[in-house]
Structure 1
């Protein structure tokens, strides 16, 4: 019986983290209260503290999980630079821009993460480091450390491009930012 309870608690915790990840990316960390987050997970507010010490604890766990998921996605890409080109085109697509709840946590939450507590910043730093390592390994498979600076530039360019495109009210201009971002990122890779 205790094993079931422990497994059930872990599944419930994971459901809260996944639902909160979508909600945070869609509405922002500050725009998502505990009651909404728990409702999204199909639970009552009272259940929250059985899983997390505070909202800040949840945020740190969500950021870590979101970035782990993003890093795992690199395994589904084609090998090397071809996979990185595919990633750039998908990342800088209207679909990614228009669906922040299912997209990259960096593009959706970076400004808020910068104002979060240390645990969230640490979770983000660890995840971002893993993403940069994945990009660097694709840019220079024989010597990823040599491509770290380029990986930082490429990742920053991609995140900023999506953020700028999301902020524009004119659809044509927003699409132009994405198209130019793809060209810039592919040129930067070379």
Structure 2
């Protein structure tokens, strides 16, 4: 019985983090209360504290989980320069822009993460640097550290481009921003 309980608790925790992650990316961290997050997971408020110490604990967990998922996608795609370009194009796509709850936590939450406690900022830093270093290793296999700052800068460009595209009311202009962002990111990646 104890094994089932542990597995059940882990499955419930995973359900909370997955549904809360989508809600955070859609409505923001501050715009998502515990009651709403638990209702999304089909649970009561009281069940929350069986899994997390606080909302801050949940946020740090979700940031780490979301970035781990992003790293899995990136490492499966960025196996060569063409894969890195594919990531840039998929990231800066209208589909990603129009579905923030399914996309990048940075583009959806970066401004709020900057105001979170240190534990969340550390989870964010660790998660981002993990996939930045993976991409740097693909682009500069003999000296990945030499490409780290460039890759991090391109990522920042992509996140900012996505945020701006989402904020523009003019859809044609928003699409142009995405397309120019692709060209800018690829130019930086190819610069010596």
**TM-score normalised to the size of structure 1?**
0.98
How has the CA–CA distance of structure 1 residues 78 and 155 changed in structure 2, closer, same or farther, with 3 Å as cutoff?
closer
Question: Residues of 2 paired with 1:148 and 1:124: CA distance?
Answer: 16
1:16 corresponds in structure 2 to 16
Question: Residues of 1 paired with 2:186 and 2:116: CA distance?
Answer: 33
Question: Residues of 2 paired with 1:144 and 1:81: CA distance?
Answer: 14
Write out aligned runs for 1:151-166 (5 A).
Answer: 151-166=151-166
Question: Residues of 2 paired with 1:177 and 1:77: CA distance?
Answer: 24
Aligned length: 190
Point out where structure 2 has 5 or more consecutive residues left out of the alignment: none
Q: Please, what is the CA RMSD of the aligned residues?
A: 0.9
2:182 corresponds in structure 1 to 182
Q: Is the 8 A contact 1:89 1:182 kept in 2?
A: yes
Displacement, 1:167?
0.9
Query: Residue 50 of structure 1 aligns to a residue in which SS?
Result: coil
1:167 corresponds in structure 2 to 167
2:73 corresponds in structure 1 to 73
How has the CA–CA distance of structure 1 residues 78 and 133 changed in structure 2, closer, same or farther, with 3 Å as cutoff?
closer
Q: Is the 8 A contact 1:80 1:141 kept in 2?
A: no
Question: Residues of 2 paired with 1:98 and 1:34: CA distance?
Answer: 25
Q: Is the 8 A contact 1:93 1:178 kept in 2?
A: yes
Question: Residues of 2 paired with 1:135 and 1:165: CA distance?
Answer: 24
Question: Residues of 2 paired with 1:114 and 1:30: CA distance?
Answer: 13
Point out where structure 1 has 5 or more consecutive residues left out of the alignment: none
Q: After the TM superposition, which segments of 4 or more aligned residues of structure 1 sit over 3 Å from their partners?
A: none
Question: Residues of 2 paired with 1:75 and 1:127: CA distance?
Answer: 13
Q: Is the 8 A contact 2:78 2:135 kept in 1?
A: no
**TM-score normalised to the size of structure 2?**
0.97
Question: Residues of 2 paired with 1:108 and 1:78: CA distance?
Answer: 22
Displacement, 1:78?
5.2
